[in-house]
Homo-oligomer: A and B are copies of this chain.
Amino acid sequence: MKMNEGVEWALHSCVNLCFIPGEAVTAKRLAAFYDLPAAYLNKQLQALAKAGILSSTSGPKGGFQLARRPDKITLLDVVIAIDGADDAFRCTEILHAGPGADPKADYRKTCLVSQAMRKAELTYRRELASQTIADIVAQVESTYPDSADNTRHWFANLKS
């Protein structure tokens, strides 16, 4: 069980975009901030844009910005945009191959093993959905106010 690494980048990028409201930021600059491969980060940002989390603009003065208020973007939204909506535990309905199986049964719902795993994943997703980008930003502001200021200045000026 390994989550796409782009999720980390996407979350941090969303947080950083919160510090630069109303302005399009290019993938290159977001990548330079953490010294990430720009082209690959761009790909992740595209996924966020396709999911309606970011809005993108082409051409000079183009870039990405949040498509909606940070308190309307949950961590689950970002995870699903980058990593897909599929459950980690995939019930392949092996019971179908077992003796005395009902060919028309939907074991994804009736199999108790599947139910137990699904139940756990549900709590996971519920927890992710309960936290928003705005929450993270607020925590950063209160816990590391200097860091927040530094980030703002870095993106405001061209140099670090």
Contacts and interface: CB of A to CB of B under 8 A. Distances in A.
A3 B90 contact: yes
B8 A89 contact: yes
A7 B75 contact: no
Count of this chain's copies in the oligomeric assembly: 2
Interface string A1-44: 11111011101100100000000000000000111100000000
A112 B95 CA distance: 42
B1 A4 contact: yes
A44 to B, nearest CB: 13
Contacts of A98: 33-34
Nearest to A91: B8
Contact of A90 (B8, B34, B86): B8
A139 B116 CA distance: 11
Given A112-B140, A113-B136, A1 B97 contact: no
A150 B100 contact: yes
Contact of A12 (B5, B8, B33, B94): B94
A123 to B, nearest CB: 5
A140 B112 CA distance: 7
Contact of A124 (B99, B116, B120): B120
Contacts of A100: 146-147, 150, 160
A51 interface: no
8 contacts: A2-B88, A2-B90, A7-B89, A9-B94, A15-B113, A34-B95, A34-B98, A100-B160
